[in-house]
Structure 1
């Protein structure tokens, strides 16, 4: 491209409509499927690879015997993490009794740690099983724990399909990992 072929910056982008634009080009890797496995095999599964690596690099917040907690690489909100079994299973009914128990206990610990660090007003907790249900990685079961605050569903996600996150994932991981042991030590209400 020669200088004569360039387009002036003022001529690029949407027409003038008085709206501000928040560009988030880093989200294109997610939209393009860069981190999505090519198939449902263990060899392609990032959730099977993460536990073999460094906790900080893999964004692992806590480890149990059967399950671990990891930050979502593409979070809905700051603190959005997932609790999942080490074992590569896709369905909740495929979990062993001990996996099911630890998944629940780690989910409780996740809520407590998030409450201690961020004081959210509420939570979305749940699993999407299968592509049709919205699972980004359907081959490996994972439970989302998403902290929520009043008004956090502001105009950006609705109008601009953009989420503004005030904290880097590495900082979120460090804060939650530091709070995890106290959160995991607290007994559940039903004990």
Structure 2
């Protein structure tokens, strides 16, 4: 309900104190749910995950559209996405992934003003009647616990 009611969602597209993706890097990793930090981008747990281990790769810079990333940002978003997939596979034994960006509100971006790439681990049979009938998703692990396991398994630079 917090997500549906717009909790922690910026009211407009401006950078600054309302953007959760701009705020997260200023917090400590556990509080900000940050798994890993790069030079141009970071990996953060999704506060409203589709599945256990759902992370997002975000540039530090507040940009909305993929073509707006510079070469270094694009390369690091790609590298962090690959590492996230490897680490999630290692710690969770997932069978596959949904990876993607929703660009713009019309495409389903919940926070359209700050680009973020979703990395969602998937397992055979992980969808059941709950999301369809009950509009609910069962998540067997707390976000903080998942963040700790991911951060501990993340390779050092």
Q: Which bracket does the TM-score occupy, shorter chain normalised?
A: over 0.9
- Distance in 2 between residues matched to 1:92 and 1:32, nearest whole Å: 27
Unaligned ranges ≥5, structure 1: 1-27, 186-191
Q: Mark the runs of 5 or more structure 2 residues left unpaired by the alignment.
A: none
CA distance in 2: counterparts of 1:46 and 1:34, whole angstroms:
10
Task: Confirm whether residue 35 of structure 1 aligns to residue 8 of structure 2.
Answer: yes
- Computing the radius of gyration over CA atoms, which structure comes out larger, 1 or 2? 1
Partner of 2:58: 84
Tell me which stretches of 4 or more aligned residues in structure 1 moved more than 4 Å: none
When normalised by structure 1's length, the TM-score is 0.80
Q: How many pairs were matched up?
A: 156
Which structure is higher in helix share?
1
What RMSD over aligned residues (CA atoms) do the two structures have, in Å?
0.9
* Superposition TM-score, scaled by structure 2 size: 0.97
How far does residue 31 in structure 1 lie from its aligned partner after superposition? 1.1
Structure 1 residue 121 corresponds to structure 2 residue 95:
yes
Deviation at 1:153, TM superposition (A): 1.1
- Per-residue CA distance 1:48-92 (angstroms, 9 max, x = gap): 011011110110000000000000000000000000100000000
Aligned to 1:74: 48
- Measured after TM superposition, the shift of residue 36 of structure 1 is 1.1
